[in-house]
């Protein structure tokens, strides 16, 4: 019913009742008394409905309003309709909140919502892992009491002072793992609140550091031979030399430095090719015994002035799935290293055989051996135990790094055993599924 008609109906009912009361009062000559009785009745009826309304509003069981008539029926229905509207709005809001929380949980970052004074209001699951927060136990605690790193505190206060400015992200060590680094961003949020986002950037930092080290190392490696060449060229340009040709020794030195640069650039190219290679190792079969036969000949050449005793023990039927160029590079590096780093007249034993259902390659020498603190770092780019010795033997410091990458492509890894004074053994094993078989020729 619309409102004017409600009022007209209620009013007309009152007029009718009043007319009846006036008539009865006129009949008994007691108009005032009858009128008072009518008003008392009306008051009782309104009080009764008010009490029912109050009972209904406070009752937890009764969802539906009590039935009544007249204006009270409209009041009950109106309140019921409002309640229904509120309920559905609350449901909608609940769903929006749930969607927000689901979205925040799905964020790849740790997220914490705090009040402007730092009191924690809410955090997602990742925040519990990244910041070590406990939820809901830490609700209401000050974030600055839980994350106490000076970088964080400073950023928090700066954000408080300039809430409209988006601050630069800051880095701080993880409160859970000191080795990890977390990048923190603070974003102004609704009603003076702050959204704190954190992500683990340890890997990114490491890669960045590796990139910087790599550039520094390559520059350093190229700089030394270039300085030598530049020195000789300047000498040749010197008017005091009178245009004399450089000595044979000087030409020899220049040629060595050029070889060194050439070798370095070649190794860098090999490394980048291996890193970029996505070929499927299972699509090719490598005849390792044939490859080792060629390598044996190469080793004999290298060994001419070293006088080592080199033995090759090769299982002629052991082939593997893999990438030939990469594997050649790995096998050659280990054999050449053994020849280069073993003092003259040493013993080197190369073995390619099946062991425990795996194909194993090993190069054992009886050289000086390597101190234990170097072992885990040998496969790092440009890492050398004895820099001067490596350079003098033409080493670039990239050989074992190349081996490591090749082996990673072939589901394997480099094992290094070494004892100072006794020698070293570099080996790796390929799993059974990489082992291929030589096809038997038809009779
Ligand atoms: P390089 O080009 O300098 O040989 P590698 O990555 O091949 O670089 O080797 C890294 C370092 O490991 C070498 O500089 C050397 O000090 C050490 N090394 C490698 N193989 C041997 C070995 N068989 N015996 C002793 N030291 C070795």
* DSSP 3-state of 113: strand
Give, in words, the CATH class of 107-200.
alpha beta
97-137: per-residue pLDDT in tens?
A: 888 888 888 888 999 999 988 999 989 889 988 999 988 89
pLDDT at 407 over 60: yes
- What is the position in ligand 1's atom list of the atom closest to the CA of 337? 20
Q: What percent of the chain has pLDDT over 70?
A: 96
Which atom of ligand 1 is nearest the CA belonging to 342?
A: 24
Distances (CA, A) of 120 to 87, 150, 155, 196, 285: 29, 19, 16, 10, 60
Confidence of residue 183 (pLDDT cuts 50, 70, 90): very high
Using CA of residue 169, residue 172, residue 176, residue 181, what is the dihedral sign?
positive
Q: Which tens digits make up the pLDDT trace of 363-381? A: 999 999 999 999 999 999 8
Which of 368, 384, 415, 421 has the most ligand 1 atoms within 8 A of CB, as the residue to mutate? 384
Query: Which ligand 1 atom minimizes the distance to the CA of 334?
Result: 20
**pLDDT of amino acid 413:** 95
Q: Higher confidence at residue 317 or residue 60?
A: 317
DSSP label at 119?
A: B
CA of 435 to the centre of ligand 1 (A): 28
Q: How far does residue 395's CA lie from ligand 1's centre (Å)? A: 8
Q: Could you report the per-residue pLDDT of 12-56, keeping only the tens digit for each? A: 888 888 898 889 989 988 888 888 998 999 899 999 999 998 988
> Per-residue pLDDT for 388 more than 90?
no
Show the ligand 1 pocket: residues with CB < 6 angstroms: 333, 337-338, 341, 365, 367, 370, 378, 383-386, 390, 395-401, 424
Tokens 């799993």 sit on residue: 431
Residues of the chain with CATH 3.30.565.10: 279-437
The pLDDT, as a whole number, for residue 136 is 86
What's the CA angle centered on 301, arms 295 and 306, to 5 degrees?
115
For CATH 3.30.450.20, list the domain ranges present in the chain: 107-200
Q: Residues with Cβ < 8 Å from 322, sequence gap 6 or more? A: 281, 284, 285, 286, 409, 410, 430, 434
Classify domain 279-437 by CATH number.
3.30.565.10
In the predicted model, what is the mean pLDDT of residues 133-152?
90
> What is the secondary structure of 42-89 as a DSSP string?
HHHHHHHHHHHHHHHHH-SS--SPPP--THHHHHHHHHHHHHHHHHHH
pLDDT over 90 percentage in the chain: 48
Write down the pLDDT at residue 196. Answer: 92
Predicted pLDDT of residue 442: 55
Boundaries of CATH 1.10.287.130 in the chain?
A: 206-274
State the pTM of this model: 0.66
The pLDDT of 349-359, averaged and rounded, is 95
- As a dihedral over the C-alpha atoms of residue 323, residue 355, residue 336, residue 372, rounded to 10 degrees, the angle is 120
Q: Which CATH architecture has domain 206-274?
A: Orthogonal Bundle (1.10)
Q: pLDDT confidence of 74, banded at 50, 70, 90? A: confident
Q: Is the pLDDT of residue 277 over 60?
A: yes
């Amino acid at each position: 019913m619309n409102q004017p008609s409600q009022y007209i109906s209620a009013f007309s009912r009152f007029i009718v009742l009043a007319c009846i009361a006036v008539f009865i009062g006129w009949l008994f000559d007691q108009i005032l008394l009858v009128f008072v009785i009518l008003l008392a009745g009306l008051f009782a009826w309104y009080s009764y409905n008010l009490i029912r309304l109050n009972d209904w509003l406070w009752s937890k069981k009764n969802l539906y309003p009590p039935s009544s008539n007249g204006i009270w029926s409209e009041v009950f229905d109106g309140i019921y309709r409002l309640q229904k509207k509120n309920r559905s709005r609350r449901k909608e809001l609940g769903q929006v909140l749930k969607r927000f929380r689901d979205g925040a949980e799905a964020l790849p970052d740790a997220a914490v919502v705090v009040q402007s004074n730092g009191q924690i209001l809410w955090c997602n699951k990742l925040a519990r892992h990244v910041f070590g927060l406990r939820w809901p136990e830490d609700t209401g605690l000050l974030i600055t009491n839980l994350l106490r790193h000076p970088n964080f505190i400073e950023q928090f206060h700066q954000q408080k002072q300039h809430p409209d400015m988006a601050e630069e992200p800051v880095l701080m060590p993880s409160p859970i793992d000191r080795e990890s680094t977390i990048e923190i961003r603070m974003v102004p949020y609704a009603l003076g609140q702050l959204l704190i986002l954190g992500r683990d950037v340890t890997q990114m930092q490491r890669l960045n550091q590796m990139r910087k080290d790599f550039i520094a190392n390559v520059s350093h490696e190229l700089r030394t031979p270039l300085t030598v060449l530049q020195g000789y060229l300047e000498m040749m340009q010197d008017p005091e030399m009178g245009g004399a040709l450089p000595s044979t020794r000087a030409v020899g030195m220049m040629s060595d430095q050029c070889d060194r640069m050439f070798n370095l650039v070649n190794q860098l190219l090999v490394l980048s090719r291996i890193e970029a290679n996505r070929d499927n190792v299972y699509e090719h079969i490598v005849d390792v015994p044939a490859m080792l036969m060629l390598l044996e000949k190469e080793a004999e050449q290298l060994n001419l002035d070293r006088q080592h005793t080199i033995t090759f023990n090769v299982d002629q039927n052991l082939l593997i799935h893999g990438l030939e160029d990469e594997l050649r590079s790995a096998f050659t590096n280990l054999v050449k290293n053994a020849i280069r780093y073993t003092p003259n007249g040493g013993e080197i034993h190369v073995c390619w055989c099946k062991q425990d259902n795996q194909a194993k390659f090993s190069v054992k020498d009886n050289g000086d051996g390597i101190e234990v603190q170097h072992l885990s770092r040998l496969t790092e780019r440009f890492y050398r135990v004895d820099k001067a010795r490596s350079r003098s033997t033409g080493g670039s410091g990239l050989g074992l790094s190349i081996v490591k990458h090749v082996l990673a492509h072939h589901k394997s890894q480099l094992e290094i055993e070494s004892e100072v004074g006794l020698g070293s053994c570099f080996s790796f094993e390929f799993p059974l599924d990489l082992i291929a078989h030589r096809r038997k020729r038809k009779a």
